[in-house]
Amino acid sequence: MNGKSGFGVPGKSKGRGFRACLFFVFKTVWNACCLPEWLKMNFEGSLGKMPKRRRPVEPSVEACQEDAERQSVRSCSHGLNLIHEYDEDSENEPTDTAWCLESDEQVYNKPSKAKRLEVPPEIALMFNQETDDDGKVEESSENHEGRTRSFAHVRGNWASFVYIPFSGSSGDFGTIVFMQDLVKSVVNSKEAGFHLNTDIHMSLSKTIPFRHHWLEPFKVELRKRLVNVESFFVVFDEFEVYVNDEKTRTFVGMKIHTSKILRDLVKDCDDCLKEYNLDRYYSDPSFHISLAWLLGNQFVNVTKLLPKLNEKWKTSLHSNLSLLTCKISAIEFKYGDRVSQFRLN
């Protein structure tokens, strides 16, 4: 033989077979291994089998705007339904339908079965009062037993004052009732405009208009000044007649002996009111409680009855000396129809 095989040149055929075998083994191991995808792609690229990588397609500006509008419509659809529930509708229209926008489409919902609540008459009457251009409420004295306000009521203002409560307190209510019985026995209770007071108190400040946003700061400051004040006793003196600043009412009251503690309490109130530029209490106050009142200025006529009234009072003290004093354990601040109480130590 000349050294040639039937398959061609021995050296070349042997090299091709070795490479084919090596490639087969490498491919088998390659498929069995869990290699990262990017590494596989690099090796396959080197073998001429690397697939074409797709570049991410960036959304256009118009597509972004459309997507944002779609999200906005979806987010406000629920809000539109809630707003519609509060829309003014008539009870004679039971087929009222609510609508909303969702995914750029109108979706009609079933009629709401929620029942509308009626406004309480107490609140509705608050908005039936006539006001002038300055917001002052026009009121008639006929609705208040003939009484008139010392200052015009303006919305947002609260008629407020600080006082010592007497009525309803334990241990002194019997004394108050006894005093009022004496007044009725002397003063003609059948006279027109005669009324017994039901809210017995001794004022520590004038009745003044308070802005709503002043109330809480004022209460905080007043509480700080009263925190160390202890309970004390007041001493009743004798009956006296008073007329309000507007001369529209006459009061029959019981004078209370002026003491240092009462003057200190008035000063504390005045100092708190000073910050708001509000009227302070009288420079020389006559501390008293009002037991009854009459319409108009009847100072002269009622004063004539004082000697008889005070004589009965002194006679009562001889038999019951406990009527002479009363223990004070709280200070109150009334604003509008609300009351804040400050208990004393």
DSSP assignment of 110-138: PPP-PPPPPPPHHHHHHTSS-B-TT-BBP
Question: Could you give the 3-state DSSP secondary structure of residue 3?
Answer: coil
The angle at the Cα of 35, spanning 30 to 40, to the nearest 5 degrees, equals 65
Distance of CA 240 to the CA centre of its chain: 42
CA distances from 81 to 97, 113, 122, 286, 301 (A): 10, 14, 31, 63, 70
Share of the chain above pLDDT 90, in %: 36
pLDDT averaged over the chain? 74
Q: Looking at 84, 144, 288, 318, which residue is catalytic?
A: 288
* pLDDT over 90 at 339, yes or no: yes
- In words, the CATH class of domain 166-203+234-329 is alpha beta
* pLDDT over 50 at 166, yes or no: yes
* pLDDT over 90 at 343, yes or no: yes
Yes or no: say if 267 and 242 are a contact pair by the CB < 8 Å rule: no
pLDDT band at 117 (very low <50, low <70, confident <90, very high): confident
Domain definitions of the chain by residue range: 116-155, 166-203+234-329
d(CA 168, CA 181): 16
Q: Looking at 84, 153, 195, 201, which residue is catalytic?
A: 201
* pLDDT over 50 at 15, yes or no: yes
pLDDT tens-digit map of 209-219: 888 889 999 99
* pLDDT over 50 at 144, yes or no: no
**Residue 288 a catalytic site member:** yes
pLDDT at 314: 94
**Residue 153 a catalytic site member:** no
pLDDT tens-digit map of 58-92: 666 667 677 777 766 565 555 555 555 545 444 44
More confident residue, 155 or 260: 260
